[in-house]
């Protein structure tokens, strides 16, 4: 029955999205709500059943559904792989998607594109499920591209807004860079193995490891290392790792429900999922693992710092997402894939909660997003305040909350690693703990505490369709890690899905209970660094905000560097894009205009015409001219004949 349940879970959001797209405008909002929410609810319910069944039986379903293409002795299939990794991702994706669907009823109720929005988010859910349920690289790439297309449509949903159009184009272009890297990595694997099936590739991974790619007669690289780094390039695009991170903050131009859907459990975690799924390959290349570790740690630290200077409530949370994705990627770089996936799960709940709570604030303030114009909202928005606090505590890793278990385990794994770059990575993630606490509670204090803005005296709590998803997301944000940290991080839950060292090799100690883990954490510096970050935020933004009122602060080099996001956008636009345009203009001028048009196409016609103009003078119309030409021609012919006869004799 798992196969049947899996197909229904996969196709339900697709059917709901298609019905909403073609019939939604005609049949109204109630029809749209029913078909899309019902589709995702069915998918969520079946995902839970599948997860429980897989957990109980420890079975793995790897089934080809149909053959897409046969070429010679090669076959390309569409199939489904259901193991503990897939089942976990299905539950997280469908739950967050369901919360976003319910939330959207209140948030988008007055939007003229209501049915179109519901159609997009349902199709987005289908695309993500296609990605995580695939059993081969072909279907993975289909889901990968489908998620990219849907994110393009959702970020630019308000297509009359110029900034939204620029943001979705930026996301599309940056992700194409990563996607090119991904397909090149897949191409290397296919050229060696001759198959795109996961299990076929993993079973022959040693063949890839023993193959060298010759870039020149004297320079070769390991095919496995090259393939892994190229596959990670795809993950860098989707999971917004530096330097391909620039699209994600700008994607805040889309409606808030999309921020939660894209940045919590779906699109941006696709790269982390890819690393875990490809663990049998990455475990054979320490070079690739070090590369992953350094990129992840750098992203965790440097993008988190950018959150300190943002004033848009959604952008602060967006930079938080970038930083947390860096943590997940860094954990994968030290072979702690189970920790990476565990943080993916807990992060999905509390980050979706924070985005949707931010949306509740935005709705209550009539779509105001500047945190400098907020303050004192604690008493006006009690449910939003409490749920935002839970999400914030989970994000900083406060003891007992879900984020604490996943983040602490993640940092311990990095601290215990000894591969190249692990020392730098450990220092980066520890500094990142302080930075995370500082920007998170800067946001919290500025929005909910302090003096109330005079323009917001009539603020009231959001409707139930908005607050209910907040409450439902706050529950797992607080408690989901207690029963799951043991089996998922330290146990053998992912044994049928990923390849990694045993827990003792990763952490250096034996796990006892969740409470024992909590007690052990007090012997590490992580908790104290996080608390110090919260206290620093309290002093700077509540107790003595005058410290930051120095008029020279905003004119300093460091502030300008952060405010301009390390000038990545300027470099891409004014250096890379400008140089590319200049090269394109040069190729057009020399290659197209001068060579093809002026010399080959128009030049050929010109030369033929010029020759014709010269020859036509002999067409005078006088008979004696033609007779003279005939006599001359005959004389030349006779002379040539006589000469040939003389030579031959």
Task: Give the domain ranges of the chain.
Answer: 285-563, 566-618, 622-649
Residue 507 burial class via C-beta count within 10 angstroms: exposed 0-12, middle 13-18, buried 19 and up? buried
Tell me the β-bridge partners of 74. 71
Query: In the predicted model, is pLDDT for residue 455 greater than 70?
Result: no
User: Could you tell me the end-to-end alpha-carbon distance of the chain, in angstroms, rounded to an integer?
Assistant: 98
Task: Return the SS3 of 496.
Answer: coil
Residue 575 confidence class, pLDDT cut points 50, 70, 90:
confident
For 78-132, give the DSSP string.
EEEEESHHHHHHHHHHHHHHHHHHHHHHHHTTT-TTHHHHHHHHHHHHHHHHHHH
Query: In the predicted model, is pLDDT for residue 551 greater than 70?
Result: no
Question: What integer pLDDT is reported at residue 456 of this predicted model?
Answer: 60
Averaged over 165-177, what is the pLDDT? 88
What is the DSSP code (8-state) at residue 487?
Answer: I
CA distance 267 to 131: 10
- In degrees, to the nearest 5, what angle opens at C-alpha 168 toward C-alphas 12 and 264? 50
Query: In the predicted model, is pLDDT for residue 264 greater than 70?
Result: no
The tens digit of pLDDT for each residue in 482-509 reads 998 888 888 888 888 888 888 888 887 7
Question: What integer pLDDT is reported at residue 647 of this predicted model?
Answer: 64
Say which residue, 278 or 610, is predicted with more confidence.
Answer: 278
CA distance 607 to 82: 68
What is the DSSP code (8-state) at residue 462?
Answer: P
Residues 6+ positions from 513 with CB-CB distance below 8 Å: 486
Question: What integer pLDDT is reported at residue 490 of this predicted model?
Answer: 87
- Kindly report the pTM of this predicted structure: 0.87
Question: What integer pLDDT is reported at residue 453 of this predicted model?
Answer: 65
The count of residues in the chain is: 649
For 596-611, give the DSSP string.
IIIIIIHHHHHHHHHH
- In degrees, to the nearest 5, what angle opens at C-alpha 582 toward C-alphas 580 and 585? 110
Query: In the predicted model, is pLDDT for residue 182 greater than 80?
Result: yes
Residues 6+ positions from 626 with CB-CB distance below 8 Å: none
CA distance 40 to 15: 10
When mean pLDDT is compared across 74-88, 252-266, 573-587, the lowest value belongs to 252-266
The tens digit of pLDDT for each residue in 433-444 reads 999 999 999 999
Say which residue, 54 or 647, is predicted with more confidence.
Answer: 54
Contact 358, 505 (CB under 8 A): no
CA distance 245 to 319: 10
Averaged over 600-618, what is the pLDDT? 78
Query: In the predicted model, is pLDDT for residue 207 greater than 80?
Result: yes
Averaged over 37-54, what is the pLDDT? 92
Question: What integer pLDDT is reported at residue 19 of this predicted model?
Answer: 92
Taking phi over 0 as left and psi of -120 to 50 as alpha, with beta for the rest, 69 belongs to: beta
Residue 430 burial class via C-beta count within 10 angstroms: exposed 0-12, middle 13-18, buried 19 and up? middle
Residues 6+ positions from 142 with CB-CB distance below 8 Å: 130, 134
Query: In the predicted model, is pLDDT for residue 618 greater than 90?
Result: no
What is the DSSP code (8-state) at residue 638?
Answer: H
Averaged over 534-558, what is the pLDDT? 80
Tell me the β-bridge partners of 71. 74
The tens digit of pLDDT for each residue in 111-166 reads 888 888 899 999 999 999 999 999 899 899 999 999 888 888 888 888 888 888 88
Question: What integer pLDDT is reported at residue 265 of this predicted model?
Answer: 60
The tens digit of pLDDT for each residue in 506-538 reads 887 777 788 888 888 888 899 999 999 999 999
Residue 373 confidence class, pLDDT cut points 50, 70, 90:
confident
């Amino acid at each position: 029955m798992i196969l049947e349940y899996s197909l229904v879970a996969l196709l339900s959001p697709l059917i709901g999205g298609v019905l909403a797209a073609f019939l939604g405008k005609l049949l109204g909002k109630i029809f749209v709500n029913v078909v899309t929410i019902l589709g995702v609810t069915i998918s969520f319910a079946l995902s839970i059943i599948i997860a429980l069944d897989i957990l109980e039986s420890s079975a793995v379903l790897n089934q080809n559904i149909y053959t897409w293409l046969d070429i010679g002795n090669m076959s390309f299939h569409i199939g489904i792989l259901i193991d503990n990794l897939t089942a976990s991702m299905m539950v997280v994706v469908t739950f967050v998607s369901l919360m976003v669907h319910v939330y959207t009823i209140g948030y988008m109720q007055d939007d003229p594109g209501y049915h179109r929005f519901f159609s997009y988010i349902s199709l987005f859910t289908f695309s993500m499920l296609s990605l995580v349920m695939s059993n081969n690289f072909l279907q993975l790439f289909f889901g990968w591209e489908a998620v990219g297309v849907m994110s393009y449509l959702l970020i630019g949903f308000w297509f009359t807004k110029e900034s939204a159009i620029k943001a979705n184009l930026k996301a599309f272009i940056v992700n194409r860079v990563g996607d090119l890297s991904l397909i090149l990595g897949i191409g290397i694997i296919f050229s060696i193995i001759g198959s795109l099936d996961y299990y076929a590739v993993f079973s022959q991974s040693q063949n890839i490891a023993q193959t060298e790619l010759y870039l020149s007669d004297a320079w070769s690289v390991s095919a496995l290392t090259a393939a892994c780094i190229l596959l990670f390039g795809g993950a860098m695009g989707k999971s917004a790792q530096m330097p391909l991170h620039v699209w994600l903050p700008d994607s805040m131009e889309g409606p808030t429900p999309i921020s939660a859907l894209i940045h919590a459990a779906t699109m941006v975690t696709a790269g982390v999922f890819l690393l875990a799924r490809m663990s049998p390959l990455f475990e054979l290349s320490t070079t690739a693992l070090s590369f992953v570790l350094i990129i992840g740690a750098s992203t965790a630290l440097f993008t988190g710092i950018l959150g300190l200077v943002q004033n848009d409530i959604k952008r602060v949370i967006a930079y938080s997402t970038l930083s947390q994705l860096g943590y997940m990627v860094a954990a994968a770089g030290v072979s702690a894939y189970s920790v990476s996936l565990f943080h993916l799960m807990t992060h999905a709940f509390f980050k979706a909660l924070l985005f949707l709570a931010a949306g509740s604030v935005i709705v209550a303030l009539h779509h105001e997003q500047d945190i400098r114009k907020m303050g004192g909202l604690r008493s006006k928005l009690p449910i939003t305040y409490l749920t935002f606090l839970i999400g914030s505590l989970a994000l900083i890793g406060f003891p007992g909350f879900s984020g604490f278990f996943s983040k602490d385990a993640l940092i311990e794994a990095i601290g215990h690693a000894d591969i190249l770059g692990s020392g730098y990575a450990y220092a980066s993630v520890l500094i990142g703990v302080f930075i995370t606490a500082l920007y998170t509670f800067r946001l919290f204090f500025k929005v909910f505490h302090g003096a109330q803005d005079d323009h917001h005296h009539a603020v009231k709590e959001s409707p139930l369709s908005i607050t209910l998803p907040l409450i439902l997301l706050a529950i797992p944000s607080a408690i989901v890690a207690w029963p799951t940290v043991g089996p998922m991080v330290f146990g053998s839950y992912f044994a049928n899905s990923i390849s990694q060292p045993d827990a003792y090799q990763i952490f250096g100690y034996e796990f006892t209970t969740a409470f024992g883990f909590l007690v052990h954490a007090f012997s590490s510096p992580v908790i104290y660094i996080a608390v110090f970050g919260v206290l620093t935020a309290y002093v700077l933004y509540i107790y003595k905000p005058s410290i930051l009122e120095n008029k020279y602060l905003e004119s300093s080099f460091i502030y300008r560097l952060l405010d301009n996001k390390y000038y990545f956008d300027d470099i891409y636009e004014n250096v890379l894009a400008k140089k590319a345009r200049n090269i394109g203009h040069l190729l057009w001028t020399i290659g197209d205009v001068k060579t093809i048009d002026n010399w080959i196409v128009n030049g050929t016609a010109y030369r033929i015409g010029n020759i014709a103009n010269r020859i036509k003078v002999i067409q005078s119309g006088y008979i004696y001219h033609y007779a003279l030409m005939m006599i001359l021609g005959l004389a030349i012919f006779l002379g040539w004949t006589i000469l040939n006869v003389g030579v031959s004799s």
